Each structure stands twice: as structure tokens, then as C-alpha cells.
Amino acid sequence: MKLMTTLLAASALVALTAGAAQAKQLVYCSEASPAHFDPGPLTGGNDFDASSHTIYNRLVDFKPGTTEVIPSLAESWEISEDGLEYTFKLRPGVKFHTQPYFTPTRDLTAEDVVFSFERQMDEESPWFNYLEGMTWDYFQGMDMPKYIASMEAVDDLTFKLTLTEPNAPMLANLAMDFAAIVSKEYADQLEASGDLAAFSTQPVGTGPFQLVDYQLDTVIRYQAFADYWEGKQPIDDLIFAITTDASVRAQRLIAGECDIMPYPAPADLEALQADEDLTVVEGEGLNIGYISYNTTEAPFDNPEVRKALTMAIDKSAIIEAVYQGAGQDAKNLIPPTMWSYDDATEADVYDPEEAKRILEEAGVTDLTTDLWAIPVSRPYNPNGQRVAELIQADWAAVGVTANIVTYEWTEYRERGKQADRKGPFMIGWTGDNGDPDNFFATLFSCSAIGVSNYSSWCNDDFEAAIQAAKTTSDQEERIELYTTAQEIFKAEEPAITLAHSKVFMPMKKTVLNYTLSPLGTHSFRYVDVQE
């Protein structure tokens, strides 16, 4: 026991001295291992945090803390009158990282930009399929191949993008993670050596940090890039300590093993907020947790029945028991921080008596239905099972019997898409680019039936509004159209809009200048640590 105490004391001492001798470092307890470091084909928020926000930049960027698009690698841009031609002026003198495995001989040019996108759409390119079984998920998902007519490097610092038809959200798309600009020179070097896969494990970018080392499932180390075009970052070393369990992350933060962490378990918030060495930064998430009725299935094909069932649910109980205060009641499909949010919409009321009356009036008695519960924890719904249990109890009170069903996550979504799916289906969405189109059209357009329109809901007026809003670039007009869309949505109730979850970032008080992103990304650009 004495030996033990000595050892503990010794190591505590060492930790102190080691800390003082080190350069300024920030330790981020991240929630999962990145698959690799090429943001193009990746899909997970944790993947992007470890690659696109540290190692790379994009042509344009979201202003920190907002979804407003601002210049990044492109200093300025022009959009032609017809909305089809985008001309970007690149920032001169942008340097790529120098790594043991690559020494750049030139600065960023339009060639790099062309390559960054071409590799994602040109099936003939060796880079289109450079990793076994890869897909360019976001590039496809945002319909880029459909919209891009051509790309051109006009000169070293001018990049021209031509579209097939006007697309209002295009600029925001280019600020998304998949649009990271990579080095063509590095790609050529790897192509010559034949080791294409290294592109994903030994990344080279223009971003604020460069990769030093990655120990599988354990720790990622970055150092600040000295020649970064915005100037070197205030911190010297950035460390991602991969800690998958939320409670363990919280304990590591409290124990001082890390400086900042994402996604605290709602249950731990109180303890984290009470800790005097910590602050918990809080913000609105750009997401929605909802439950899709199958609007083609009786009796859910009757909007009155749908509204009555929604009315029978005590949403405040769900927000308290499941989100534990880390969520807010959703009255619209889009979250309140998004432009065009219709604040005039009335919140759902909880009135089991009235609900029962309407159901009886509609001839719905002794209804037995399946209720689909998501099998995994998502930012928009931390515990689908618990939500289902609560709704089950609420519906029982109005005479509706709900059987909770669930499947493995991929199978769950596949089965949910089926047109003949029985029963309301729990699902949600996290915004990609801050554009309302990314919610309305992706989730409830007619063409999304069988893809991500789990309500199989196709309403002509709604469809007309959102399609018109997609092609016009007049902001006022778009807001008006989306307001109409929200009114129709509420009157028809194709889905129960449950909640928008809040985002929390607990961190030490010594962490300065951290800005919470509504898009759910975690960027350590501009962050400093107080000594």
C-alpha cells in the first residue's frame, strides 16, 4: 500500500511537470474513431471533426456559430444573372502541409479545386474508387452530379463552376465537409507510387492543423500548421482522445484528462454544470426528431386522426424524461435557428380528452398499431426506446394500443421506407448545410417517397411551394414560400414533430474562444488555452 501511495504521488508530480514543459495543448475527448482522414467519402460528424475541420479548408465556409456562408479558400465569387455560372477567385499564397511523406512544391491553384470535385464524379478516375467499396455519399446525396454541368480552371486562381439548372442551396453545399479541397500534387505523387490508399491515412491539406500521428481507436495528434493562411493557431498541439462512452467522457473531463468534450449524456449535465472548473456552452442544434405516420395507411390517412394522436402525446414528459431538458418542443419541421422558421405556428397541445373525442368522432376505436422505435442513440433523439415507452403509455390512455417494434439500424431504415409499412415510424434529421431545402425537400418532397419521405406523403401545394423555393434565389420570396410550406405541414400533420435537441459542449474554463456550431461540427480553429 505504501508503494502504491508513493507511485501515485510520483506520477502526480510527473504529470504536473510534464504539463508545464509542454507547448500549449488542447485535449478534445472525441466520441468515436474516425474511419480515415479523407472527408470526401466520409459521412460521420466525428469523421469530419477529425479531418475536414482540422486538416482541410473549403472554397467557402460557414461563419463560426452561424450557417452564413463566408469566403475561405475563395476570396470572392460571382454568380451569373441566370444563376448557372459560379466564378470563384482563389486566395493567393495558400500553402499545403509539409509532411514526412510529402513536400509541396507549389501553392493552392484552381487545379486542386477541380481535382477535389472531379474525383467524386468522374467514374473513370482512379480516385473515384481508390478505397475498396467507397461511395461519395454526400456528393451524391446533395445531388451534385445532377447539378454540375462543368468545372474549369480558368487560370491558376480562378475556378468556374457551371450548373445545369439554378440551385439556391449550391453555395451552402460548397461549404459542406465533403467539399474539402485536397492537393492534386499529392494525389499525383501517390498515383505515381501506386499507393492510393495512403491518401486517406496520410492526409495533406491547407487547414489550420496537420496530422502528426493516429493510434487506432486511441488518440489522434495534430500540430498547428505554421504556414496556415490565416496565421498559426494559438494552440500548438491538438489532441483527440477517443472516448466512446459519454459518461466516461464526462468523468475524464472532470478528472482533467481532457479540456473539452462533445455530446454529454443528458444525465451528466447537472454534475458538469455544477463543477466550478467547467463551463457548459449551450446552443440550439440544427436537427429534428420526428415520427412519420404512414399517410397511405388507414386510419392514418385521415389528417384529423393524425392530429388527434399527436394531441394525445405529452411531449413535455418526453422532453423531460428523454432529452432531460436538452431539447425543446418542435412545432415546425425546421429548427428555430434556421431562417424562414415560422414562429406563428401554434405549438401542439396535450389534451387526451379532446384527442379521444376526435378519434371517436372519426370512428377510430380499439386501434392497435405498431410503433417504430429507433434502435440507436442519435443527436436528435437520444433514446428512441424510451420515447416509444412514453408514447405507448400516452396512447393507451386514449384507447390506442401500440406495439413497439425495432430492428437493426440499417434494416430499420430499409423497412421504414416500404410503402406498406404499418404504424408510425420514429426518425430524425440533422441539417447538412443550414438551408431549409435540406429539410423540406429531402424529407417530405414527393420524389423522396421510398428514399427518405417515411410518411409517403405527397401534397401538391406543399410540393409546389418547396420546388419554387429551390430555384429562386430571392431570399424574401423563399422565406414566404417556406412559411406556406410550414402552414400546410401543420394543417396536414404527416408527422409528429417531437423535439429539436440542444447541443452542449462542456469544457474547462481555461478553454477560450470556442464557438458552438449549429451544424453539429466541432472545430478548434481560433481556440486558445489560458495558461
Residue 410 sits at the vertex; the CA angle it makes with 45 and 287, to the nearest 5 degrees, is: 40
Residue whose CB is less far from other proteins, 21 or 298: 21
CA distance 71 to 77: 8
Name the grid cell of 226.
505554421
d(CA 293, CA 370): 11
- Dist CA 363 CA 367 (whole Å): 10
Q: What angle do CA 43, 46, 48 make, to 5 degrees?
A: 60
Q: Could you tell me the three cell numbers for 262?
A: 462533445
Q: Pick the closer one to other proteins by CB: 395 or 429.
A: 429
Helix (H, G, I), strand (E, B) or coil at 110: helix
CB of 317 to other proteins, least distance (A): 5
CA distance to 369, 495, 497, per residue, from 293 (Å)? 11, 5, 11
Q: State residue 393 phi and psi, 5-degree precision.
A: -65, -40
Residue 73 beta carbon to other proteins: minimum distance, rounded to whole angstroms = 25
The minimum distance between CB 483 and other proteins, in angstroms, equals 26
Of 8 and 347, the one with the shorter C-beta distance to other proteins is 8
Closest CB to other proteins among 95 and 252? 252
| CB of residue 61 to other proteins, shortest distance in Å | 21
Which of 137, 138, 149, 142 has the alpha carbon at shortest distance from 168? 142
Cell numbers of 295, please?
A: 399517410
Angle between helices 460-471 and 437-444 (to 10 degrees): 140
Judged by beta carbon, residue 114 or residue 317, the one nearer other proteins is 317
Q: Which residue lies nearer to other proteins by CB, 438 or 483?
A: 438
Select 31 or 112, whichever has its Cβ closest to other proteins. 31
What minimum distance in Å lies between the beta carbon of 15 and other proteins?
A: 6
Minimum CB separation of residue 205 from other proteins in Å reads 19
Which lies closer to other proteins via its Cβ, residue 254 or residue 479? Answer: 254
Rounded to an integer, what distance in angstroms lies between the CA atom of residue 24 and that of residue 412?
Answer: 45
| Separation CA 4–CA 331 (nearest Å) | 57
Q: Which residue has the cell 474508387?
A: 129
Query: Measured from the CB of residue 43, what is the shortest distance to other proteins in angstroms?
Result: 3
Cβ distance to other proteins smaller for residue 386 or 422 = 386
Least Å from the CB of residue 314 to other proteins: 8
d(CA 473, CA 400): 46
Number of Cβ atoms within 10 Å of the Cβ of 7: 10
Alpha carbon of residue 253 to chain centroid: 24
Q: How far is the CB of 343 from other proteins (least distance, A)?
A: 27
For other proteins, which is the closer residue by CB, 142 or 398?
A: 142
Q: How far is the CB of 249 from other proteins (least distance, A)?
A: 9
3-state secondary structure 163-225: ECCCCCCHHHHHCCHHHCCCCHHHHHHHHHHCCCCHHHHCCCCCCCEEEEEEECCCEEEEEEC
